[in-house]
Chain A
Amino acid sequence: MIQRFVDACSATEDATAQALFRVAIGACVLFTLLDVVQAGLVDVLWVDAAYGGMRPLTSHPWLIHYLGGANPTVIHGLLWVGLATGVALVLGIGGRITPLVSLFVVGSLVDVNGHAGGSYDELLQNALWLLVLSGGHKTLSVEAKWRTGSWWPEVPILAFPRWLALWQLCLMYGATGLQKVSTYWVPGGESSALYYIMQQPTWQRSDMTWVASFYPLTQLATFVTWWWEVLAFFWILTVWYAATPDRPGRLRAWSNRLQLRWVYAGIGLAMHLAIFATMEVGPFSPLSLSFYLLLAHPHEWRRWLTRRTAPAAAANT
């Protein structure tokens, strides 16, 4: 069994899925930073009170500590480097060095003020680390064009970073579900958690009292969300079953027949769209959905994208 695990960790796959993930996370890096710039919050939240910031920032991330503290010069410098890494990730420049620099720089910025962030910052940093492990820069990138003459060469890379990223996604949902132990969430109660969360002024985009007219729907959504999150650990199993359809097993056949992988994804997508429409929670939804790109096996991506691009290419000739 250990030998099989070791072999699985060395398995390879086409780089397309991990490359798409790289592009999406690069866009999320840009969104994360530009959103703070656009709101005029860089010098308010990320700079120490001694230089005009909102509060004294005494406990710095290691990089900011070594650079001399959260002063405007350091923070603005890191911001520019962070933006450059976002662009480089989207374009696929710099190999594994780019996500590593992005992890250090963007991670330092979003962590410098521990009060002004959320779980999305952790999700972003986990994604960047997984990109350091990934060979996603080897296709759909400037680097691929330069090395092979093609934008989209079929390059085999290690598959395990994709599986780690999928586990990260399931772990995030599953762990948050297990911690939803409030009587408002746990089945058997009034299932009113989502209704009351939508009434909290902290995260709502606008007044949500109108939701009271649809209270039973919010109860259903609470019930579905809780079960969906708690069972998210099994989502990765459905992806594995879809990737290995020729192996035996009734559970595998059943999961593949019902397309459970996409049922899970559909509920997740609906949940994120609802969150995005009603709540102000920063880059959480786009970041989470970036991980969904890895649900499809690389050969599925290649098949879909070839089908889409082939007619266009034929029309151009």
Chain B
Amino acid sequence: MSPSSPSSRLSNVGAWGRGAFVALHLFAVTYMAMPSAGSGLNRSAWSDPTVQNEFRSWTTRLNTLGWGITQDELEDHLWGIASGYEGVRSAILDPFEPYFVYCGTWQSWRMFVAPHRYPGRLEIEVDHGEGWAPLYVARSDEHTWHRSQLDHDRARAAIFRYSWKHYRVHRAAFTDWVARQVMAEDPDARRVRVSWMRYRTPSPEEVLAGKKPEEKRDLKNTRDLTRMRAAAP
């Protein structure tokens, strides 16, 4: 095969095409993977105690380093930078959207970027007319209703999201699902309540001193099963 034969030219075109594809792939996935605020660019999410705690820590740290900035100023500053950055990022990545969608090349690696210092522990309770009794408590070996489902990592991912205030609509849908299950399984149940116990995770010193964290019931959603039964077709 001579260097200028048709098959040699074709193979050359193929090699250059392959090279161009690899270069574009590398650019698209690498740029897509670079840090991004994503769904974290949400003022409501920024008011969460965990996020506020981060802002407070960073403000203190920056002050120590000699940058006199208040927490409010830091938040506004970061909001401005993140909004501008996300706009540019989105404009650059837009042409690659079909490649991400159809070839499964999305890159979102925000994994354990910060510990959740004020987590919520899911609790599901039922009322038979004698007050609330726990059905399911996350990570409990005692209250284990639908544990194989609710303890699964995919369910945990959803439940983790619903512990954030701005997931109100989805939290309500989750409560509806819980209510439907309880209604089908327990004809005597009158009400069901889904809530998250919010607390500050204890420091090592607090744990070793035997100090228990203070808990507060948060994001309560209640369903009246008697009414639901009456409304059911």
Please report A residues at the B interface, Cβ cutoff 8 Å.
2, 5-7, 9-10, 35-36, 39-41, 44-45, 49, 52-56, 62, 103, 107, 113, 115-119, 122, 125-126, 128-129, 132, 158, 160, 164, 167-168, 171-172, 174-176, 178-185, 188-189, 192-193, 195-197, 199-204, 206-207, 209, 211-213, 215, 280-282
Question: In the bound complex, how far is the Cα of B163 from the Cα of A128, in angstroms?
Answer: 32
Q: 6 nearest interchain CB pairs?
A: A125-B104, A182-B114, A196-B115, A6-B19, A212-B207, A282-B153
Of A44, A56, A128, which one neighbours B104 at CB under 8 angstroms? A128
CA distance in complex: A188, B116 (Å): 20
Where the two chains meet, the residues of B that have a C-beta atom closer than 8 Å to any C-beta of A are 14-16, 18-19, 22-23, 25-26, 29-30, 33-35, 54, 57-58, 61, 101-117, 119, 121, 138-139, 148-149, 151-163, 170, 173-174, 176-177, 180, 201-202, 204, 207-208
Q: Is the CB of B113 within 8 A of A54?
A: no
> Which chain A residue shows the least CB distance to B197?
A201
B97 to chain A, nearest CB (A): 12
Given contacts A9-B22, A160-B22, A164-B22, contact A62 B117 (CB under 8 A): no
Which A residues are in CB contact (< 8 Å) with B30?
167, 171
Cross-interface CB contact of A196 among B57, B121, B201, cutoff 8 Å = B201
User: Please, which residues of chain A bring their CB within 8 A of the CB of B103?
Assistant: 103, 129, 132
Q: With A9-B22, A167-B26 known to touch, is A41 a contact of B154 (CB < 8 Å)? A: yes
CB pair A176 B111 closer than 8 Å: yes
User: Smallest Cβ distance from A238 to chain B, in angstroms?
Assistant: 19
Best-buried of A199, A203, A213 by chain B (most CB within 10 Å) = A199
User: Which residues on the A side are within 8 Å of B111 (C-beta)?
Assistant: 118-119, 176
Closest to A216 in B: B204
Do A54 and B61 have beta carbons less than 8 Å apart?
A: no
* Separation of A111 and B111 alpha carbons in the complex (Å): 18
Cβ contact within 8 Å between B151 and A280: yes
Rounded to whole angstroms, the CA-CA distance of A176 and B35 in the bound complex is 8
Chain A residues closer than 8 Å to B176, beta-carbon distance: 49
Which residue of B35, B101, B180 is within 8 Å of A179 (Cβ)? B35
Specify the chain A residue showing the minimal Cβ separation from B40. A179
Known: A6-B19, A175-B33. 18 other contacts (CB 8 A): A5-B22, A10-B19, A40-B148, A45-B155, A54-B177, A56-B173, A103-B103, A125-B105, A128-B104, A167-B29, A171-B107, A175-B34, A179-B109, A184-B114, A193-B114, A196-B201, A200-B115, A202-B159
Instruction: Specify the chain A residue showing the minimal Cβ separation from B30.
Output: A171
26 residue pairs from A and B, CB less than 8 Å apart: A5-B19, A36-B152, A40-B149, A41-B154, A41-B155, A49-B173, A54-B173, A107-B104, A116-B154, A117-B154, A118-B157, A119-B110, A119-B111, A122-B104, A125-B105, A171-B109, A174-B33, A176-B113, A180-B113, A180-B114, A200-B119, A201-B121, A201-B138, A212-B202, A213-B208, A282-B153
Q: Separation in Å of the B211 CB from the closest CB of chain A? A: 11
* B196 → chain A closest CB, angstroms: 10
CB contact under 8 A between A193 and B115, given known A175-B34, A201-B138: yes
User: Min CB distance, A220 to chain B, in Å?
Assistant: 14
Q: Quick check: B204 and A215 within 8 Å, CB to CB? A: yes
What CA separation (Å) do A10 and B22 show in the bound complex? 10
B33, A41: Cβ atoms closer than 8 Å: no
